[in-house]
A = this chain, B = another copy of it.
Amino acid sequence: MTLIERLDAYAKMTESALEAALASPNEATYPAIFKAARYSALGGGKRLRPSLLLEFCRVCGGTPEKALPFAAALEMVHTYSLIHDDLPCMDDDDLRRGKPTNHKVFGEATAVLAGDALFNRAFETMLDPAVLQDFSAETVLRAAGYLARAAGMDGMIGGQALDLDSEGRRIPQDMLMQLQRLKTGCLIKAGAQMGCTLGGRADAETLEAAERYADSLGLAFQIEDDLLDIEGDITRFGKPIGSDADKSKATFPSLLGAERCHALVRELTDDAIRAVQHFPDHAFLADLANFLVSRDY
């Protein structure tokens, strides 16, 4: 299987699991919230986080199919965070993945609730008694615990809060690193941790390798994203790098310059690839690290 084929297979599996997780006998009675939740959860997206979870499960000797409730949960947490981020009181975005944002389609009240609902469904899905057919209660607790901590005030929500706190001022490089690690890194790392745990190989050394891979990959991806933002602008608007009117938000290129950023992306990608050598069957994960920072992703 090529990288793209496997990524595609993981995305399809995750989407089926999301469909199943969002089914409810109450859908006919109050349809709007279910529609809104589906709209965002099934509205495209690369399914990077669940794919990492499923692949780490596989390379740790587990069966990715069994880990699907957790992959869907991870993606629901990611999706809820996007819905709430896009709200008028937050980033006030009209478009997400090329489609109108949730609140643009369903209104703000339903969008807040749909976010809450997806967040909640993540835990319902992981804590469903049916999951105990495939995993011990200890394993379920450990995997769900990784997600809970990664998504919270000392993880993703913390990153959002730090972002709000630092609005309008230029923060130093180390704080920008911390912000990105919290805001996007934690959830990517949770995918790796959950995958190893569900795959049945979660000794300290294995977890450390998986975490280092996820951390480096997440940061590389974020810096590349920042680079694409400004270098994309040159093509689109003919603006030179760094001429953005909105300089209030610190980005890696604005702090370090584009050249240093390109080098950093390479270093971090190489570090991710080195880390993942710990796993015997690491070809997909290594290829993925390169692919994520290629302009084709």
- Which residues of A are interface residues toward B (Cβ below 8 A)? 24-26, 29-34, 37, 84, 87, 89-90, 107-110, 112-113, 115-117, 119-121, 123-124, 127-129, 132, 136-138, 140-142, 144-145, 148-149, 151-154, 157-158, 160-162, 164-165, 178
Selected contact of A33 from candidates B113, B141, B144, B157, CB within 8 Å = B157
Let me know if B24 and A161 touch, CB within 8 A. Answer: no
Let me know if A89 and B108 touch, CB within 8 A. Answer: yes
Known: A33-B157, A120-B152. A145 touches B162 (CB 8 A): no
Who on chain B is nearest to A90 by CB? B109
Q: Report how far A107 CA is from B154 CA in the complex, Å.
A: 21
User: What's the least CB distance linking A112 to chain B, in Å?
Assistant: 6
Let me know if A137 and B127 touch, CB within 8 A. Answer: no
Q: Report how far A164 CA is from B29 CA in the complex, Å.
A: 12
Specify which chain B residues have a CB less than 8 angstroms from the CB of A116 in the assembled complex: 84, 115-116, 119, 157
Q: List 23 A-B contacts (CB under 8 A).
A: A24-B154, A26-B154, A26-B158, A31-B165, A32-B164, A32-B165, A33-B157, A87-B112, A89-B107, A89-B112, A109-B164, A110-B164, A116-B116, A117-B157, A117-B161, A120-B148, A120-B152, A123-B123, A127-B145, A129-B145, A136-B137, A137-B137, A141-B141
Known: A124-B149, A141-B137. A113 touches B165 (CB 8 A): no
Let me know if B164 and A148 touch, CB within 8 A. Answer: no
User: What's the least CB distance linking A154 to chain B, in Å?
Assistant: 5
Q: Report how far A24 CA is from B29 CA in the complex, Å.
A: 41
Known: A124-B148, A137-B136. A161 touches B33 (CB 8 A): yes
Who on chain B is nearest to A132 by CB? B141
Q: Report how far A190 CA is from B148 CA in the complex, Å.
A: 20
Known: A24-B153, A141-B141. A161 touches B113 (CB 8 A): yes
Let me know if A109 and B123 touch, CB within 8 A. Answer: no
Q: Report how far A148 CA is from B119 CA in the complex, Å.
A: 10
Specify which chain B residues have a CB less than 8 angstroms from the CB of A120 in the assembled complex: 119, 148, 151-153, 157
